[in-house]
Amino acid sequence: MAFQPEPVQEPASMLAPEKQAMKARKMWVDSLLRIMKSKTSFIGLLIIALLLITALFAPLIASHDPAAQSIVDRYQPPSGKHILGTDELGRDIFSRIVYGTRISIQIGLIAVGISLIIGVLLGGIAGYFGRWIDQVIMRIIDIMMAFPSILLAIALVAVLGPSLRNAMIAVGIVGIPQFARIVRGAVLSVKETEYIEAARAIGAKDGRILGQHVLPNCLAPIIVQATLSIGTAILDAAGLSFLGLGAQPPSPEWGAMLSDGRAALQTAPWVITFPGIAIFLVVLGFNLFGDGLRDALDPRLKQ
């Protein structure tokens, strides 16, 4: 009887894509239920939802034109006419905070998008190919992490020029090392699994393995880091605007509002109090939701 070798068993992701898709959907549904059951993550989700609603319906929510000036009404305390008072130019603070939510969302999404795309690409290549490629990429990442993030962002904006766009680019570049390290660690643990070895055995190319099998199995830590980084990006951009390196007047950016109102801290404290509270709540919301998302996607906590 002639010897017949056993057929090579293809990875489960190739043999039964429908089962893999059902398993993935079940994981995300279970994770969503875990998030909804967590009080802290649910509070964070509510804050984020409120932020999005405010940004979408800013013209309907705002009571005044955020750029309208009235010298007669300058430094008015909170009242029926101006819910949160006015600033040094008589502009309604509530309306400026409402319109500032749009800028904050823009900052968070664009800055984190830059960090995410470049960081995932560098971390994936370094973790999968290893050797000298890994050494070169990670030494560059180490150099970037040697600088305090805010100082590196200030240096980048100083080179590019002060503007909101350049501030978002700088904050995005500063966030690359976190994504690169997380993705590299995840890729190192995934690339040695059996289904990756099976994919190599049937002749799949490295690009296909990395894009279709390795990185999709690293999504959980990437999503968690992206959620947490949005709050950090908003906070860093507010810091740059406070220093005059980010959003420029008359943009209703919260950090710029803090910078404009610091001269009246003792006489009109509401000018900086309410923008500061807005920054605090947004960063808190993303941090709470990110922590809950991390717990929900952690397989060790499913029981």
Length, in residues, of the chain? 303
| Lowest-pLDDT choice from 23-27, 70-74, 182-186, 289-293 | 23-27
Q: Distance of CA 158 to CAs 114, 118, 122, Å?
A: 19, 22, 25
Exposure of 202 by Cβ count < 10 A (0-12 exposed, 13-18 middle, 19+ buried)? exposed
Task: For residue range 99-130, list pLDDT tens digits in order.
Answer: 999 999 999 999 999 999 999 999 888 888 87
pTM: 0.81
How far, in Å, CA of 6 to CA of 64, rounded? Answer: 75
Q: What is the 3-state secondary structure (H, E, C) of 150-214?
A: HHHHHHHHHHHCCCHHHHHHHHHHHCHHHHHHHHHHHHHHHCCCHHHHHHHHCCCCHHHHHHHHH
Helix (H, G, I), strand (E, B) or coil at 78: coil
What pLDDT was estimated at residue 167?
Answer: 92
Q: What percent of the chain has pLDDT over 90?
A: 33
The Cβ of residue 27 has, within 10 Å, a number of other Cβ atoms equal to 15
Q: Is 34 a residue whose pLDDT tops 80?
A: no
pLDDT greater than 60 at residue 56? yes
Give per-residue pLDDT as tens, 176-224.
999 999 988 888 887 777 777 676 677 667 677 777 777 777 788 888 8
Map out the domains of the chain as residue ranges. 108-303
Mean pLDDT of the chain: 82
Structural contact between residues 288 and 40, judged by C-beta atoms closer than 8 angstroms: yes
Please state the rounded mean pLDDT for residues 127-143.
87
Nearest Cα to Cα of residue 232 among 100, 106, 101, 112: 112
Looking at residue 31, what is its pLDDT? 64
| pLDDT at position 16 | 43
CATH T-level fold of 108-303? MetI-like fold (1.10.3720)
Q: Quote the crossing angle between the two packed helices 17-37 and 39-56, to the nearest 10°.
A: 100
